């Protein structure tokens, strides 16, 4: 970033995106990718958590998708660069200006597991631009489903704090931006990252126009944020739905969560659009997550969202990459997601191995799902 650091203007709202597309006829799915525009890296090598969130995540994933012909009938666009003003629809001026400042300084810590580099601002603005474009393409009717292959993730960033590898909350900013439009009254955000999307929950905790549903790993010994009794407050009561599963949750637990809670909740809320915080760190090989999933789970989630879009007459869904820190399996997971959104059969991929589900974990998660349903069903 060149020149002096300048104060940011307050967000005025209701501004059309400069890269609006109205005439695209590419089909039902569009991929937006950021490779080459994501040079930010934290000053930590592996095995530090921060070291796993690096440009290889996108580069290797895109290479896998191309080599396996997964993008043959998919339009691929490059992410545009957003502006700092765009982020102000969700974040405080202090947070946004801190990212700008620390990027110019070239290093430093902005929050827990949130470190700056000289490329941080540029990378985060390109990531945000990808999320905004993903939402706008669906809103305009140009495509039915979009997937933004972007980094860094954003769902841990609150309105005023960066943390957990996240700086700007991409999905929250995109959701609030499209809610400024006259033809969007309600948005559902489904977060499937292994870790609770505390930032997104905080942003929309009192907002009746946004339904936030999070399926995540939870520690029932120490407890923490993301408990199923967090249901929203004031006018937003009942719109925050947490599905906190025990460590080691397998495919069957996620399928049950989608079938018994997520789908009925979305059907009741009747959103105009669905956003998905697409975290893949629940994969059994992920170095940061502790779940027991593989690409079959992500196909099922995408397939379920596709069916909901069709049955409810929703405009579509936009997916924004969050976690997923094993680049060798991120490709199969994204590929399965795309296949599910296309309505294609479950693909047989290299990460799908036979493994025995932990019956004790399955039973515990069944009890959790029953408690979640008793808690949230009163609002549906």
Whether 116 and 103 have beta carbons less than 8 Å apart is answered as: yes
Rounded to whole angstroms, the Cα distance separating 157 from 95 reads 10
Partner residues linked to 239 by β-bridges: none
DSSP label of 351? T
Helix, strand, coil share (%) of the chain residues, nearest 5: 40, 15, 45
Rounded to whole angstroms, the Cα distance separating 260 from 255 reads 8
C-alpha 298 chain-centroid distance? 13
Cα separations in angstroms, 156 against 167, 198, 310, 314, 350: 8, 5, 30, 27, 31
Over the range 37-47, which residues count as b (16 or more CB within 10 Å of their CB) and which as e? bbebbbeeeee
- 156 as an active site residue: the answer is yes
Rounded to whole angstroms, the Cα distance separating 138 from 146 reads 7
Q: How many CB atoms lie within 10 A of CB 304?
A: 18
Cα separations in angstroms, 158 against 13, 72, 295, 317: 19, 37, 29, 23
List, edge to edge, every strand of the sheet that includes 145-149. Answer: 75-78, 29-33, 145-149, 317-321, 273-278, 187-191, 210-217, 240-245
Nearest C-alpha neighbor of 165 from the set 201, 119, 215, 111: 111
Partner residues linked to 283 by β-bridges: 293
What distance, in Å, lies between the first and last C-alpha atoms of the chain?
A: 48
Backbone φ and ψ for 366, nearest 5 degrees, come out as -60, -40
40, 156, 283, 303: the active-site residue? 156
C-alpha 91 chain-centroid distance? 17
DSSP label of 258? I
The token duo for 144 is: 């039915």
Residue with structure tokens 């540029």? 122
Residue with structure tokens 């307050």? 10
Report the SS3 class of residue 330: helix
Q: Which residues are catalytic?
A: 156
């Amino acid at each position: 970033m060149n020149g002096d650091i300048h104060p940011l203007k307050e967000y005025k709202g209701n501004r059309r995106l400069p890269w609006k597309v109205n005439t695209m006829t590419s089909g039902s799915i569009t991929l937006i990718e950021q490779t080459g525009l994501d040079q930010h890296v934290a000053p930590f090598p592996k095995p530090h958590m921060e070291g796993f969130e690096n440009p290889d995540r996108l580069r290797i994933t895109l290479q896998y998708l191309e080599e396996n012909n997964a993008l043959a009938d998919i339009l691929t666009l490059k992410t545009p660069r957003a502006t700092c003003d765009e982020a102000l629809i969700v974040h405080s001026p202090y947070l946004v200006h801190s990212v700008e400042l620390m990027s110019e300084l070239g290093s430093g810590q902005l929050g827990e597991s949130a470190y700056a580099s000289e490329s941080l601002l540029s990378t985060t603005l390109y990531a945000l631009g990808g999320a905004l474009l993903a939402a706008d393409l669906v809103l305009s009717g140009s495509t039915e489903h979009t997937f933004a292959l972007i980094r860094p993730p954003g769902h841990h960033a609150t309105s005023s704090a960066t943390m957990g590898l996240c700086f700007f909350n991409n999905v929250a900013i995109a959701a609030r931006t499209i809610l400024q439009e006259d033809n969007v009254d309600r948005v559902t955000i489904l977060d499937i990252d292994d870790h609770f999307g505390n930032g997104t929950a905080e942003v929309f905790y009192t907002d009746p126009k946004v339904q936030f549903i999070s399926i995540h790993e939870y520690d029932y010994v120490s407890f923490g944020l993301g408990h199923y009794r967090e249901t929203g407050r004031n006018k937003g009561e009942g719109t925050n739905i947490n599905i906190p599963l025990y460590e080691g949750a397998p495919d069957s637990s996620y399928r049950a969560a989608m079938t018994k809670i997520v789908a009925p909740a979305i059907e009741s809320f009747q959103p105009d659009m669905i956003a998905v915080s697409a975290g893949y760190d629940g994969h059994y090989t992920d170095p940061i997550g502790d779940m027991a999933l593989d690409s079959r789970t992500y196909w099922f989630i995408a397939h379920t969202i596709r069916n909901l879009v069709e049955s409810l007459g929703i405009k579509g869904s936009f997916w924004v990459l969050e976690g997923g820190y094993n680049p060798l399996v991120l490709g199969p997971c994204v590929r399965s997601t795309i296949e599910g959104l296309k309505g294609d059969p479950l693909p047989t991929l290299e990460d799908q191995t036979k493994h025995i589900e932990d019956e004790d974990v399955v039973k515990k998660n069944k009890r959790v799902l029953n408690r979640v349903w008793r808690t949230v069903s009163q609002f549906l």
